[in-house]
Amino acid sequence: MSFEAARRSCFGPGVDASEGDRAVEARIFARYLVGRDPSPVHVERYVAASRTHFPEPLAPEDAAVLAWVRRHPWSVGPLDAASGLARPGGALRNRVLLMAAVLETTPEFADDFLPHHLGPLALAARVGIAGVVAVANALGGLLLLKLAVRPAA
C-alpha cells in the first residue's frame, strides 16, 4: 500500500473548497490583514492562487477550521495565532499567508505592509501591546481550534 493510500484510509477523503468558499475566505482574510475589503480583482487573484498552490482537497480538520472561519469571521485572528503554534503547516495559516502575499504586492495595499518610523518609546509600547495581544489570541485560538475541529454531535 502506498503512503498516499494509507493516508486516505486513516484520515478519510479530503474536502474540496468551492470557488465561492475561496472568495469568502479572501474577503475575511483581507479584513483581518489590512482592515478593509479587497477589490474583486484581489479576490480573483486569491482564488486563482489558492487553486494553483493548494490543488489537493483539504484534510477534514483543515476543512472544519476554514468552515468555522467562514461562519465566524471574527475568529480568524485567534485561530491564525493558534495555528502558528499548533498547526503551522495547516490550511488556515497557509491561506492567510497567501492572501498577505496577494495584498502586499499591489499598490493599493503595499503601504499596509511597509514599515513605519516610530520613536523608541512608541516602538516599545507597540511591541509590548502586540505581544500581549498575540499571547491572548493564541490562547483563545487554541480553545477555538478545539471547538472548530471537534466532530459534530
Is pLDDT above 90 for 23? Answer: yes
Confidence of residue 14 (pLDDT cuts 50, 70, 90): low
- What's the rounded Cα separation, in Å, for the pair 133 and 117? 21
What is the four-CA torsion angle of 63, 67, 70, 74, rounded to 10 degrees?
Answer: -100
Kindly provide the residue ranges of all beta strands, DSSP E only, lying in the chain, ordered along the sequence.
none
pTM beyond 0.95: the answer is no
Residues 6+ apart with CB under 8 A from 62: 90, 91, 92
> Which of the residue ranges 44-53, 86-95, 120-129 would you say has the lowest mean pLDDT?
120-129
Percent of the chain residues topping a pLDDT of 90: 48
Q: Please tell me whether residue 151 adopts helix, strand or coil conformation.
A: coil
